[in-house]
Structures are given as structure tokens and as C-alpha cells.
Amino acid sequence: MVTNVESQFRKIGAKVTFVKLSDRASSTAGSPVRLDVISKGKEELFEIAVNEGRDNSLDLSVLEVRTEDRHLVLLARLLDKDGSLISKNHFLCGHDERHLFVAAVKGVSTVSAAKASLKPAEIRARESGQNEAKRNRRKTSVFRRQGEWFFVPTPGLVADEQFVRNDEPLVRPGGGSKAHMAQYAYRVGGESVMVCSKYPQGLTLKQYSKLINGTPRAKNYGWREMKRNPTVYVRGKIRHPDHATIVLDTWHRVLMNTERRTRAVAFLD
């Protein structure tokens, strides 16, 4: 199994290494396998971490390799002792601009379907009728893309300048990724929530009030008011060390790829 997977990754010009994790050290939250991109010296490679004790019941297979595209879809299945399926996870692995990447995707079997599944539903609807080559570009008539972020043109938007921020970071909720820096950002709407280190995803004002009334010491948790799921617009230069800088001459609405839906997090500002 390992040899076959390694050979499939070589077809996209990438190396893969396998490591075992103890249950205590594992952060896979119930999944028998975790994929990551690591660096060894100047070389990047994929790391597949398997929970100790699960390696004999884990089946890894590559569903499709797109050599010219340098992408593949990996399926990880956890089987019981009788060979019946317990759970399965799909991953899109490949090259994006300057670096390797891996993304958890829905139950798809092709690279094309995996890429499409990462796009917000609005973008998929608006690019209906375009061929696959156009849909997979980072710049189309529908959007500009940089990494996991999509920027959709918003003609006619007039921002209230007093609420425009300079050099604003765009960060995937939950952390763990480098910020994309927007030269100018403008946020509208969203739900007010109270956030602290104990409640990083935030509590609604009603939930916050109930907590404080029931646990008075909770007032000292270092709260701050934030907005959950605001509408975000950016323009100007969008910078990231792993991607080419793009320039948006007009306001564009910000959308994140749908991998965020696989995590129990909220988009906060």
C-alpha cells in the first residue's frame, strides 16, 4: 500500500513520508489519518500521519492522478476487522503556485470535482457554462483567487471611508495558516459576539449575558466584542509570501474556500 501511494505521488513530482502518532499525540480528532505539507531542508514533501494501532485497518488509495496538472485525490478508508467500512476521508493534494498544498474535500473521486468542491456555491453557479480550463484559472471573469481566498468583483460599491482599514490580515479561522494581507479592507454587517481565549469562536450577546449572570468570575476572562461572519470587501494589493501579489483595482467581496466547513469554526473579525 505504501509503495503504491508513494509511486502515485511521484507522478505529480512530489515525495511523501509516513509517520505514526500515538493516540495521545494525535490531533486528528477521531480521524485515523492526518495529511500535512512539511519541509526538510529546502525540500517540501507530503506527510501522512497515521494513528498508532490504526495502521493495519487503514486503506490508502489514490483515486485519480492528473500528471499534467500535478494534482491527485487520495482516499483514506478505515476498516474494521471484517473489512467493513467505518469511515473515509478524501484529500486533494498538489501544487499551487510556489508550494505544495493539501485540502480535505467532500466525497469526490476526480481532481476536477475536488477543485470544484472547494469553491463557494455562489462561484460555482456564476461560472456555469465555462469549460474546465477556464474554471481552474486563478483569474477569471467571475473571480480572482489567491490560495484559499476568492475575490469577487463588486461593481458600484461605495465604501464608507471612515470604516476602511489599511493593511488588514485575512486569516483562516482557527489559525494555523499565514495571513494574506489586504492593502484596504471594508467590513459590513455580521453578528456581534463576545470572544476570549476560553471561547475563541465567540458567544452571542445573549449567551454571554447568561454566562456572566451564572458565573460572575467569567467577567475577568478578557473579553472583546467582535463580528461573526461579516461581509468583507478588499481592494489594492493582496500579498502573501507563498503566492504572487495580485492587485484589485476595485472593491471585491471576499469568500473563503469551503474547506473551512470541515472545521468547527466561525469567521470572526
Q: What would the pLDDT profile of 45-92 be if each residue is shown by its tens digit?
A: 999 888 776 656 888 899 999 999 999 999 988 888 878 888 888 999
- The model's pTM is 0.75
- Whether the CB-CB separation of 108 and 117 falls below 8 Å is answered with yes
CA distances 196 to 42, 187, 268, Å, are 38, 21, 12
Question: Which residue intervals of the chain are DSSP H helices?
Answer: 2-10, 111-117, 121-126, 132-135, 205-214
Q: What size, in residues, is the chain?
A: 269
% of the chain surpassing 90 pLDDT: 45
Strand order in the sheet with 16-21: 16-21, 43-51, 33-40
Neighbouring C-beta atoms of residue 127, cutoff 10 Å:
17
Report phi then psi at 190, rounded to 5.
95, 165
C-alpha cell at 171: 486569516
- Whether the CB-CB separation of 182 and 236 falls below 8 Å is answered with yes
Give the model's pLDDT for residue 113: 93
DSSP of 137-154? SSB-SS-EEETTEEEEE-
Cell numbers 465555462: residue: 130
Give the model's pLDDT for residue 26: 46
